[in-house]
């Protein structure tokens, strides 16, 4: 009779591990750059030159007179002529009063004759005078203002605090495979493949 063999197979239990490591996320926020630019400007201006020519003194010397001078000169000449006329009529009145009634005197004719002689014998003179130069005044043009230089102002936008995200790690054990013992019998030989 064939012999019975006891076959045994066993499987060891297996423990599995799930491990998640601690992680720290620190994303970098890139700085952002802007700038404010002010363009350069000349900022300069100028005034036009001005030339003033006063030719009145030279024109007045050869007879061109404005209304003010004309009125003043004729006022002076008129006052002088009034004084001369008043004096002449006063002298004539006194002469007529004192000498008019006298025989052989013709006071009016004598006065007329004397006036005519004064006019005829009056000395006429020519005066050669230099004509004054015109007065020329020049106000030169001027520049004013100041240049405005260009200016660039950089503006950096950065985060003041780091953004850190912490992920906790974990550790977990589990039974990946149960242990097992399996036994059976075979005849005549070991059943190593079962």
Q: Is 74 inside any structural domain?
A: yes
Q: Is 60 inside any structural domain?
A: yes
Q: Could you tell me what percentage of the chain is helix, strand and coil, using 3-state DSSP and rounding each to the nearest 5?
A: 30, 35, 35
What is the per-residue pLDDT across 78-90, written as a single tens digit (0 to 9) for each?
888 888 888 888 8
Look at the block and give the residue holding tokens 């097992």: 180
Q: Is 99 inside any structural domain?
A: yes
Please state, in angstroms and rounded to a whole number, the distance separating the CA atoms of residues 168 and 19: 11
Instruction: Please work out, in degrees rounded to the nearest 5, the angle formed at the alpha carbon of residue 48 by the alpha carbons of 43 and 51.
Output: 160
Decide: helix, strand or coil at residue 143: strand
Q: Is 91 inside any structural domain?
A: yes
Does pLDDT of 97 surpass 80?
Answer: no
Structural domain including 92 reads: 50-141
**Which tokens hold the place of 147?**
């240049």
Please state, in angstroms and rounded to a whole number, the distance separating the CA atoms of residues 114 and 82: 19
Q: Is 11 inside any structural domain?
A: no
Q: Is 116 inside any structural domain?
A: yes
Q: Is 43 inside any structural domain?
A: no
Give residues with Cβ within 8 angstroms of 103, minimum separation 6. none
Q: Is 136 inside any structural domain?
A: yes
What secondary structure letter does DSSP report for 2?
Answer: P
Query: Which secondary-structure segment (H or E) carries 167?
Result: strand 165-167
What is the per-residue pLDDT across 11-25, written as a single tens digit (0 to 9) for each?
899 998 899 999 888
Nearest Cα to 44, choosing from 141, 139, 138, 140?
141
What is the pTM (predicted TM-score) of this model? 0.35
Query: How many domains, in total, are found in the chain?
Result: 1
Please state, in angstroms and rounded to a whole number, the distance separating the CA atoms of residues 23 and 5: 57
Q: Which of 18-27, 116-125, 157-166 has the highest mean pLDDT?
A: 18-27
């Amino acid at each position: 009779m064939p012999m019975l063999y006891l076959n045994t197979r066993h499987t060891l239990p297996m423990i599995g591990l799930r491990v998640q490591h601690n992680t720290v996320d620190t994303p970098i926020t890139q700085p952002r750059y802007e700038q404010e630019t002010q363009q350069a400007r000349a900022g300069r201006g100028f005034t036009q030159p001005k030339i003033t020519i006063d030719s009145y003194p030279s024109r007045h010397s050869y007879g061109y007179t404005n209304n003010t001078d004309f009125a003043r000169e004729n006022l002076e000449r008129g006052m002088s002529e009034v004084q001369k006329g008043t004096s002449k009529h006063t002298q004539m009145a006194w002469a007529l009063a004192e000498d008019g009634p006298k025989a052989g005197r013709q006071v009016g004719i004598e006065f007329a004759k004397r006036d005519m002689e004064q006019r005829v014998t009056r000395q006429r003179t020519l005066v050669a005078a230099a004509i004054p130069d015109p007065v020329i005044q020049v106000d030169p043009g001027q520049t004013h203002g100041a240049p405005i230089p260009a200016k660039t102002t950089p503006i950096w936008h950065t985060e003041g605090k780091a953004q850190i995200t912490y992920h906790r790690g974990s550790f977990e054990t589990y039974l990946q495979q149960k242990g097992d013992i399996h036994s059976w019998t075979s005849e005549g030989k070991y059943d190593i493949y079962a």
